[in-house]
Amino acid sequence: MRAQTRRVRRYRKDDLRSYRQLVEQARPLRSGALRFQPRKNGNMKMTMKTGRALAHCTVLAAGGFALAVSGVAWSQDASTRLSPDAASTIGHDPQLLIAAVPARVGAALKVTSPAFPADANMPLISTQYGENRFPGLSWSKGPQGTRSYVVVMQGMPAESDPGRAVTSIHLVLYNLPAGTTTLSEGMTQAPAGAVYGPNVHGPAAAYAGPHTHDANRHAYHTQVFALDIVLAHGDGQSFSALKAAMTGHVLASGDLVGYAAKPAMAAAQTTGKPIRVETGLISGIPGRDPSISVYKGIPYAAPPVGPLRWRAPAAPLAWQGVRKADAFGPACPQPGGDMARGMAQSEDCLTLNVWTAAAPSSGEKRPVYVWIYGGGFIGGTGASPEFDGEGLAKKGIVVVTLNYRVGVLGFLSTPELSRESGHGASGNYGLLDDIAALQWVQRNIAAFGGDPAKVTIGGQSAGAGSVGFLSMSPLAKGLFRAGIAESHARYPRDTELRYLSVSWRSLASAEKSGTQYAAQHGASTLAALRQMPWQQLIEGSSAIDPDVETGSDGKPPLFRPVVDGWVIPKSYWDTYQSGSQNKVAYVAGNNKDETGAVPETAFAVLRARTTPPRAGMPQTSVTVAQFQAAVRRKFGPLADDFLKLYPASTDAEAALQNNASARDNSRISTWLWGTLWRQTNSLPLHTYFWTHAQPGPTHDTRGAFHGSEIPYAFNSLDAVDLPWTREDRQIADTMSSYWANIVKTGNPNGPGLPQWPAWSAQLPQVMELGDHFAPMPLASLEKIDFWKRFYATQTPW
């Protein structure tokens, strides 16, 4: 009987129960008492009372030891001791398969990959330090009589250590049909008729990319075999069985050799090697995956304190020695601690954070994603766990998050500030912070392996508003080539736009409200405002702007961006009509349960509430009285037309129609926004509608709420404490692959992903993301026509 090693596991030396449980899992096994015998060399011999040797274990310095146990059958030789270097039938083998089972007549197949040429480095994306993405494969047709193909990838150790020449198995795919000569890039499902065999991830596992453990280049052999038989299903359950079944049946074979090494960044982390930015040396820390380096709290501007309060950000200050970039910087001052996640707050807050898998100062040029947080322009921090950049960094992206000034410190406008500016403008300091961070990226991101010519900006809610405003700002021209706006890019005639945080103020209105705010805080001059402690200054800064008529109780935040003629020269409508926005690729979308829509499971909870809704928030109608009153107020002479399309005579119907109309409005509004954006910009444009509810306590009450897509787009589930399911992880992998592709090319599509159609004026549809990944209609044609007619009656914003 064959002696086969199942696995190596570590146990504490006093945990004999674990040993017994492991052995009891191995079959066949006769009953009998276990005995452990220490040896002088540090090994321990395990026997049954029959005296038969079952396993060996090596005592470890940490007080545990590695236990290697045979799996399919036990050796009959009581003196057999399995070497620590013995090949595992799951993931390793002593020799390359092409040498073990040579072709019968010596014929050769030509094997190629679209991802790398022969004897060159495999792309990082195809390794376990990247996306673990199959690189794709093609081979020449086998000789006459070929009935199936076998594909096997095996990794070799360094040639300098032939004594440990045990190959690692990264792919086994057998019974490929005779007509198959290509495997696509990103393949995860075996082609019809083919079966996955064992690799280092276990039996019947899909492709497992190289995961080297040092900086040396190691060869990885992708071997293709043309067989004159179709193997039985069980012939590939172990690597030894596969070899035995193939022997004598190989008509031809070929081998493509690629190389991989541990990324230099991962190696550098163990030494703490610093990298240089314009203001000095910094050292980072490893991520949860040690192949990722994280640099936190890097200043991108001088602290905006004293005379720098309410000025454009000044150049960052240099430092001596090596700065430890191992902790996030303080959150910018904001009322309450909810959006600051309980972090310390300080005006010295203009810092950013970088996640990268690139080698420091290596000349690598990876695309860069700069994320701008939401929070109604009144709160937020770049340190939120949802924004953890490790997942995207593993997909080849350099991720940057940042802090920017919010509330009164970020968006105060007064006549005195406008006169002082030299531009006759004030009120957009938070946006100027974003621009300063993007300028810092241009000057410094190459040190982290990023490409300053391939920058995408993204954000959600107010962050999406920032993306939109920066796309309209001549000051940001050339600083990024694509934008992602997660809630909301809206048609300028949509009244919802007026109260959402993507709303704007005129300079005159902003200066007036700023002067009133200063007076309420006892300050009549700019000097007095600059001397006031920030803790006192931000009191009451979360107020709404009551002067904006929205057709509902929804009101925008008081402090928000200003159409000042400098940072933002024109309104949305005037910008798009003139085509003066920056020419960038764009992705925009909305969520199923936001802007007044809620999950159907929340209706009863909302009806039972006795407290009034939070001021300024979009209102949800869950009773027929609320619904009809809201409809009359918003639609006026078109109310009857609306109610014919969204009829409701009971509370249950009213709640459902409230949801239907809110969701139709968001989809149609963004689609019509695209008609304006597209007038003078032919770069890629894609829109989406997010539908998946996070697991946990908010699932039934908030559903696919405002911002719920963020951890999926970042693939940051491991940084967020929720009971994630396998489905959640699959959705996150797909979402983050779309986002990585957007950053790389401006287009979300790529191998192995459901096709995401570009925005089209001729097709009123949007891409559903979340519960499904497929195009969906905006609404019925009658409803689209109604919303167009309603928008036409409204003043453009």
Q: Give ∠ CA 643-670-634 in degrees, rounded to 5.
A: 35
Name residues whose C-beta falls within 8 Å of residue 711's C-beta, 6 or more positions apart in sequence: 386, 694, 717, 719, 720, 732
Residue indicated by tokens 């069980």: 234
Fill in the amino acid letter for 301: A
> Computed from CA positions of residues 716, 718, 721, 722, in that sequence, does the dihedral angle turn out positive or negative?
positive
How far is residue 496's CA from residue 519's CA, in Å, rounded to a whole number?
Answer: 31
Reduced to 3 DSSP states, what percent helix, strand and coil does the chain have, rounded to the nearest 5? 30, 20, 50
Fill in the amino acid letter for 300: Y
Identify which of 576, 491, 578 has the alpha carbon closest to the alpha carbon of residue 791: 491
Identify which of 488, 481, 426 has the alpha carbon closest to the alpha carbon of residue 665: 488
Phi, psi (degrees; rounded to nearest 5) at 748: -70, -20
How far is residue 630's CA from residue 335's CA, in Å, rounded to a whole number?
Answer: 31
How far is residue 316's CA from residue 680's CA, in Å, rounded to a whole number?
Answer: 37
CA atoms within 13 A on the CB side of 698: 15
| Whether the Cβ atoms of residue 88 and residue 37 lie closer than 8 Å to each other | no
**Residue 481's Cα: distance from chain center in Å?**
19
The pair of three-digit structure tokens given for residue 574, joined into one six-digit string: 């005037």
Identify which of 431, 364, 373 has the alpha carbon closest to the alpha carbon of residue 398: 364
How far is residue 679's CA from residue 487's CA, in Å, rounded to a whole number?
Answer: 22
How far is residue 593's CA from residue 663's CA, in Å, rounded to a whole number?
Answer: 8
Name residues whose C-beta falls within 8 Å of residue 374's C-beta, 6 or more positions apart in sequence: 380, 459, 460, 461, 462, 463, 464, 487, 501, 707
Name residues whose C-beta falls within 8 Å of residue 249's C-beta, 6 or more positions apart in sequence: 104, 227, 228, 229
Identify the helix (H) or strand (E) that includes residue 782.
Answer: helix 781-792
Fill in the amino acid letter for 58: T
How far is residue 8's CA from residue 222's CA, in Å, rounded to a whole number?
Answer: 26
Q: Say how many C-beta atoms besides its own lie within 10 A of residue 610's C-beta.
A: 4
How far is residue 739's CA from residue 745's CA, in Å, rounded to a whole number?
Answer: 10
**Residue 501's Cα: distance from chain center in Å?**
24
DSSP per-residue codes, 247-294: TT-EEEEEEEEEEE---HHHHHHHHT--EEETTEEEE-EE-SSTT-EE
Identify the helix (H) or strand (E) that includes residue 625.
Answer: helix 624-635
Residues in the chain: 797
The pair of three-digit structure tokens given for residue 688, joined into one six-digit string: 């989406």
How far is residue 767's CA from residue 742's CA, in Å, rounded to a whole number?
Answer: 15
Name residues whose C-beta falls within 8 Å of residue 581's C-beta, 6 or more positions apart in sequence: 471, 472, 575, 677, 680, 681
| Whether the Cβ atoms of residue 670 and residue 590 lie closer than 8 Å to each other | yes
DSSP per-residue codes, 445-507: GGGGTEEEEEEEEEEETHHHHHHHHHHH-GGGTTS-SEEEEES----TT-GGGGTSTT--EEH
How far is residue 239's CA from residue 797's CA, in Å, rounded to a whole number?
Answer: 67
What are the C-alpha distances in Å from 233 to residues 93, 145, 224, 340? 20, 20, 18, 56
How far is residue 587's CA from residue 593's CA, in Å, rounded to a whole number?
Answer: 19
461 annotated active-site: yes
Name the catalytic one among 88, 461, 471, 487: 461
The pair of three-digit structure tokens given for residue 686, joined into one six-digit string: 């894609």
Q: Which residues are catalytic?
A: 461
